[in-house]
Structure 1
């Protein structure tokens, strides 16, 4: 959509996991990234020593969905149980399956459980989100972990498999938002903050001076950009007011 608004703009889009994109960003191979985390103090300092002040803007709220087989009777899980799987103390027989070892999704869950190392059983990583869905379809008691943004994308060739899985309801720990019920990562729950497994999505711009990256960041934060985020099914950074023209019928 940005390209259609600014037809003379030329840029290259590179995709990858956090473990590959962040290092390239720090080496100036990439000037702007979309990330589910902010720069660390060390990373920020690295840019500032070069005379570059990173500009970080949150533009969307994403959720991390837990996926199970569509015919699974047990379609709810608590954050406490998820943490127990991650730290190796679970006795439920359930297991978590992630897209790849370098993904931001896995980092999010390790931070949630406050673990630096994964248990030898109960947590597994594959190559990509497609593999996660296939694995869950073929293996009972395995819970797939994928971003809501990926589920909402047009995943050609995956529709038949996606019809065989469903999103689980998640209940938060006592005293936290979403602790009163089991919530699915639908847009309403992302916006209101009742779905427990939320993450912010940031644009981080490290151009030495204002350029195409700055223009794109401003566009995403504009009313048009935020409406596109809303229509995509994610939670926008801010809800834009809607204006109506009311005409007198007489």
Structure 2
């Protein structure tokens, strides 16, 4: 009887300890779950949405594929859309980062400020808008003055251009009404009204290429990374039956040497007139997957991909060559 009188308190004490441990485990579990919120992504794992102007599809595809190859647990869902829509997706938190050709406007930045989000802007590269014509059209040179004349409606026929060899009207072909390509060109020439111009819009840069290939009187506008990756079979296939137009900033070019095409050296040396920056806009509030991708792009490996695509990287890819005396 005396022994049983001591067992009761011991069991009670053990029960209290077990209850305390369970409570601690429960508390840790609740803290770990952070009130039911999903775990944050990191630079090497997780899943985020990226928005990008469609003209950068080859660039973004290669960058995200290379990064996922290094970090198999990193997953990207990319939404390709006209530039303004891509920016809006980022502002509405439907995308973490956006690849664009411009920074946020004051009103767009105010959207992030209102939510106390410190956004970031990173310049990745210098890109160019390439002008394409059908191979049957031998008039492959144009001045900025002539281009402005086309977009103001003063020049409507190929025969009105210096060296023009066609009597047909000039049809301008863009990928989308709100794409970065058309916005950049209109802004460059200060055009606010396109009524009366012969403008055809396709659904993508790829379709611009296909349309120009089958229509000799057209002048197409695309992102240069669509046709500048010489290692890709698609690039070779897309470039068939096309000419890339040389553009001169001079009013009266003296020779062909005054015209430049949107290829790497002329972009980097700022000789091609229709060049533009490539930015990554981010709303990321923690060291996450978006920042990991941007850091990768700004290092040597990312710069090499940009370089390979024919753009001019903001951070140059350094090649080391070891010379050995034989």
What TM-score, normalized by structure 1, do the two folds share? 0.89
- The ranges of structure 1 where at least 4 consecutive aligned residues each deviate by more than 4 angstroms after the TM superposition are 153-158
Give the length in aligned residue pairs: 245
Q: Is 1:33–2:79 an aligned residue pair?
A: no
Do 1:85 and 1:96's aligned partners in 2 also have CA atoms closer than 8 Å? no
SS of 1:46 mapped into structure 2: helix
Distance 1:155 1:84 in 2: 36
Q: Are residues 157 and 77 of structure 1, via their aligned partners in 2, closer, same or farther at CA, if it must alter by over 3 Å?
A: closer
Q: Which residue of 2 aligns with 1:223?
A: 300
Q: Which residue of 1 aligns with 2:273?
A: 196
Q: CA deviation at 1:181?
A: 0.6
- Within a 5 Å distance, the mapping from 1:1-250 to structure 2 comes to 1-91=66-156, 92=160, 93-152=169-228, 154=232, 156=234, 159=237, 162-173=239-250, 181-249=258-326
Larger radius of gyration: 2
Q: Which residue of 1 aligns with 2:5?
A: none
Distance 1:235 1:99 in 2: 23
Q: CA deviation at 1:124?
A: 2.8
Do 1:137 and 1:164's aligned partners in 2 also have CA atoms closer than 8 Å? yes
Distance 2:241 2:304 in 1: 31
Do 1:230 and 1:236's aligned partners in 2 also have CA atoms closer than 8 Å? yes
Distance 2:84 2:316 in 1: 32
**Greater shift after overlay, 240-249 or 81-90?**
240-249
Do 2:136 and 2:216's aligned partners in 1 also have CA atoms closer than 8 Å? no
Q: Which runs of 5+ in 1 are unaligned?
A: none
Do 1:47 and 1:53's aligned partners in 2 also have CA atoms closer than 8 Å? yes
Higher relative contact order (CA 8 A, sep 6+): 1
State the Cα deviation string for residues 18-58 of structure 1 (Å, max 9, x = none). 13212211111001111111111111121122111111111
Greater percentage in helix: 2
Distance 2:73 2:317 in 1: 28
Do 1:88 and 1:122's aligned partners in 2 also have CA atoms closer than 8 Å? no
Distance 1:70 1:198 in 2: 23
The RMSD of aligned alpha carbons is 2.3
What TM-score, normalized by structure 2, do the two folds share? 0.70
Do 1:130 and 1:158's aligned partners in 2 also have CA atoms closer than 8 Å? no
SS of 1:77 mapped into structure 2: strand
Do 2:247 and 2:260's aligned partners in 1 also have CA atoms closer than 8 Å? yes
Q: Which runs of 5+ in 2 are unaligned?
A: 1-65, 161-168
Q: Are residues 232 and 156 of structure 1, via their aligned partners in 2, closer, same or farther at CA, if it must alter by over 3 Å?
A: closer
